[in-house]
Amino acid sequence: MLITGASQGIGAALARTFAAEVKGVRLALVARNARNLRAVAAACARLGAEAAAFPCDTSDEAAVAKAARAVARRGGAVDVLINNAGAFTQAKFVDTSVAEFDRMVAVNLRSAFLVTRAFLPAMLARRSGDVFFMSSIAGLGAYPNAAAYCAAKFGVTGLAQVLRAETKEAGVRVCCVHPGATWTPSWSGSGVAEERLMPAEDVARAFLDVWRLGRRTVVEEIVLRPQRGDL
């Protein structure tokens, strides 16, 4: 199993959840922050998983190719891929710079494309695999002051739908997850109370439950929102 954006937030929760719940799981953890990534890998190892850290900027084509080779040398085939790497920015459309727009597309959309492109061929050859995309409620409905983020997440949603259409006869399951506001380090200092947001562990649990379904069943999309529904 390979998880991108695994150094904190939902990605780290995903790693810990699968480590705790799936006996003998082998985790390839990918993110830019090498120090945090190694800490998450160590926590997963204490839970009984075989976990390895692969520091990588997943929006960089050469870096993804290098990481894919390293993963293959270390653990072989990837049967579950979770495209979780992402970032959020907030600005009015007219105040969004070209550089910031490009950054949002690179981190949220380009990264998912590059990583999936690296590991999908082996899944198709085996006629088995699971690919998860972390979109957002911002990938289903636009809201103000997030032009770049919404555009990128709409792109992730579309990418997942195309991949599902192309691989549904090939034994590969594709699921796109659309979380609402989830408590992660990016909310620290926002002034929003943690109790208003979903725990990252709940989002991670949804991935696990979908993965555990029989191979004859696919959950194409999941929408998760805080109970109050205003974030």
Active site positions, annotated: 149
In 3D space, the residue among 176, 155, 44 whose CA is nearest the CA of residue 107 turns out to be 155
Distance CA 167, CA 220 (A): 12
Residue 173: beta bridge partners? 130
Distances (CA, A) of 224 to 23, 33, 48, 123: 27, 27, 29, 28
The pair of structure tokens assigned to 30 is: 């990918």
The distance in angstroms from the start CA to the end CA of the chain is: 31
Distance CA 141, CA 18 (A): 30
In 3D space, the residue among 9, 25, 224, 50 whose CA is nearest the CA of residue 130 turns out to be 25
In 3D space, the residue among 40, 77, 75, 76 whose CA is nearest the CA of residue 55 turns out to be 40
The pair of structure tokens assigned to 178 is: 């659309």
